[in-house]
Structure 1
Amino acid sequence: MSSESFLHPLAEVFILPSSISVVKGTDALEHLNRSLTTDTTQIGLHGKQDALLCNANGRILDRLTICNLEEQVILVGNHGTGGDTRQQLLQGVPWDQDVAILDGDAAIGHLKLVGRAVDRCLVGLGFDPTDIDLQSWTEFGSS
């Protein structure tokens, strides 16, 4: 019996509780490059990359998905860690850099679709499934 036999015939929507932080400013990606375990300076527009935030002793504080939206960078982290993540990122901002770190916990939802016919659900939401790239950020319902 394949693992696919356990999947919903269309798709199930899972709401993933996550912390959301927004990093704004002309030096946002450069600042994140110094603070995280990955090179953020090469993330393209609407690009997406995973990274870890560690303290000075190397202890992992949060696992983040970084989404570059040009004028701002969205950080999707573990549920309940947003305040500590933002505080850690704020501590490393030099006085002469243009970086602001904002709480976005109530502004953005994080969903996952799982099933045999996820593409049908995406079409119903107005997406062309062939336009979705797993390495990019996809926005829906932005005002």
Structure 2
Amino acid sequence: MSIVRSLATLAYDCRRSAFFENELVNALRIIDRGDMAASELTGGWAGEIGQVQFLPSSYVKHAVDFDGDGRRNLKSSVPDMLASTAKFLKSYGWKAGQPWGPGTANYAVIKDWNRAEVYQKTIAVMAERLAGG
């Protein structure tokens, strides 16, 4: 689904048009700076990009070219995705090496990413399993 088309529609005909107008401008910035061609800028109906589901404003602010290919690619570059996610979390106060379960400061950072409690708990469980727990 074309993110530019989706965001243009939401900016024109939505109860949160100012929010989506800003996202549309940021989607055009992504194209303008050469990270993606308009034809590559596809994603969710509300403008989410790639596996990390960044909105264009988060993409512009936090996307990192970690693999050194000259593009911030959150659709197919795992190094770019991981580094961009780390930058995003750090900007919200994530503390490396600290616990991330419910009631911790890092858990509050997860809540800033996505306010759905089921999402927060899922991330905490997945992190625990990846850590060998």
TM-score w.r.t. length of structure 1:
0.28
Question: Which structure shows the bigger proportion of residues in helix conformation?
Answer: 2
TM-score w.r.t. length of structure 2:
0.30
Q: Higher relative CO (CA 8 A, sep ≥ 6), structure 1 or 2?
A: 1
Higher gyration radius (CA): 1
